[in-house]
Amino acid sequence: MTYDLYIGDRLFSSWSLRGWLMFEKFSIPFKTHMIGLYSGQMARDMAPLAPARLVPTIRTPDGTVVGECLAIAETLAERHPDAGLWPKDESARATARWLCAEMATGFGALREACPMQLKYVHQGFEPSAAVLTDLERIETLWAHARAVSGSQHDWLFGNYCLADVFYAPVAARIVGYDLPVSAASRAYCDALLRDPAVLKWRAEALKVTYDPFPYALDLPNSPWPDYR
């Protein structure tokens, strides 16, 4: 018996990427099922999971349906206490929870102005003041995480944990819209996107082509960084 994970289009579904990383990065066995986000079939595809209506949604091996990334994260952490989803240290763990919760409920301006897309880097995107405020807050939280954990490289709390999962799609937005962040924050974004799991996700994502391309912007594009 394994978990079932229901996700949307990999190129665009930031929440699906979070849900998938929660399994993939912590070696929790799962089977992926695609839900048609842009096919007009989403309601029909999700009907067997009702009242869940968004992706990701999971079904646990005992048949319980769980929606919402924060709930999925806590469910997996509780059921797999040795998998390292949360940091071991109590302060680090509390801080990681905070960062995940603030991500899940905040940064509306960034999320609205810069939908995740893993295909290109948009050149010349001009972030609004509200987007810049969100970026500043994100960088403050990342710096705080490192101050609490003492981690000076790659992951926020030393080992890769759920906080890194929650911020991986944020990194994709920062890189995909070439948003202004400090060198240290950009290095963290690059680490998140260079991670083999994210490379695997993106390789699958690129197998699907879109015409028209959702969320197209009238801006020149440059290639996604070569993280291989």
Ligand X SMILES: N[C@@H](CCC(=O)N[C@@H](CS)C(=O)NCC(=O)O)C(=O)O
- Return residues touching ligand X (CB under 6 A): 8, 13-16, 37, 42, 54-56, 68-69, 104
Q: Please, how many CA atoms are within 13 Å of residue 216, restricted to the half-sphere of its CB?
A: 7
To ligand X, the closest distance from the beta carbon of 33 in angstroms equals 14
Dist. CA 30–CA 20, nearest whole Å:
9
Select 104 or 132, whichever has its Cβ closest to ligand X. Answer: 104
The two structure tokens encoding residue 26: 């912590």
ω into residue 212 within 30 of 0, thus cis? yes
- The three-class DSSP label of residue 113 is helix
To ligand X, the closest distance from the beta carbon of 143 in angstroms equals 24
DSSP assignment of 158-205: BS--HHHHHHHHHHHHHHHTT----HHHHHHHHHHHHSHHHHHHHHHH
Select 136 or 204, whichever has its Cβ closest to ligand X. Answer: 204
Select 118 or 148, whichever has its Cβ closest to ligand X. Answer: 118
To ligand X, the closest distance from the beta carbon of 156 in angstroms equals 19
Select 69 or 168, whichever has its Cβ closest to ligand X. Answer: 69
Closest CA to 122 of 217, 190, 14: 217
Select 84 or 106, whichever has its Cβ closest to ligand X. Answer: 106
To ligand X, the closest distance from the beta carbon of 42 in angstroms equals 6
For 190, phi and psi rounded to 5 degrees? -65, -40
To ligand X, the closest distance from the beta carbon of 220 in angstroms equals 26
